[in-house]
Amino acid sequence: MKRNYNIKSLDELRQYKQVLNLESGSQEIWMKETATTLIKSFSLPDIMAKAVKPSLGNQSASKNITSTILGVALPVVLNKTLFRKSGWFTKIVVGMVSRQIGKRIK
């Protein structure tokens, strides 16, 4: 974004510099607060709880874990071994398809 500045003296430049410093300070504070709330919302126990939903039996919970692991690991393994020299589009398609296959295995 290009701004047009009508600064005609050194005093105006110094005042504008102070305004920019105050704006950057307030933006830093806002970013720190936002980052802490994001970090708290993406804590490891919360992510694990969302990945493994409580179910009726232990077998279905273990199946959910294995399907989740396969859904994540299968695309990585395929792209690192079989499709090593393929293009980026092929890797994306292979990742999407293998992730869906991995999640459907029960």
pTM: 0.36
Selection from 47, 104, 105, 102 nearest residue 71 by Cα? 102
Asked if pLDDT for residue 55 goes beyond 60, the answer is no
Helix orientation angle between 58-80 and 44-51, rounded to the nearest 10 degrees = 100
Alpha carbon separation from 92 to 14, 41, 67 (Å, rounded): 51, 28, 20
Three-class DSSP labels, 36-86 = HHHHHHCCHHHHHHHHCCCCCCHHHHHHHHHHHHHHHHHHHHHHHCCCCCC
Quick one: pLDDT band at residue 29, thresholds 50, 70, 90?
very high
36 and 63 both lie in a single domain? no
- Mean pLDDT (whole number) for 57-82: 72
60 and 24 belong to one structural domain: no
The more confident residue out of 52 and 83 is: 83
Residue 61 included in any domain? yes
| pLDDT, mean over the chain | 78
Q: What token pair was written down for 56?
A: 């009726």
87 in a domain, yes or no? yes
28 and 63 housed in the same domain:
no
Whether residues 14 and 36 share a domain: the answer is: yes
pLDDT category of residue 11 using cuts at 50, 70 and 90: very high
Domain that holds residue 78: 55-104
- Total domains present in the chain: 2
User: Residue type at 54?
Assistant: P
Q: Do the domain assignments include residue 48?
A: no
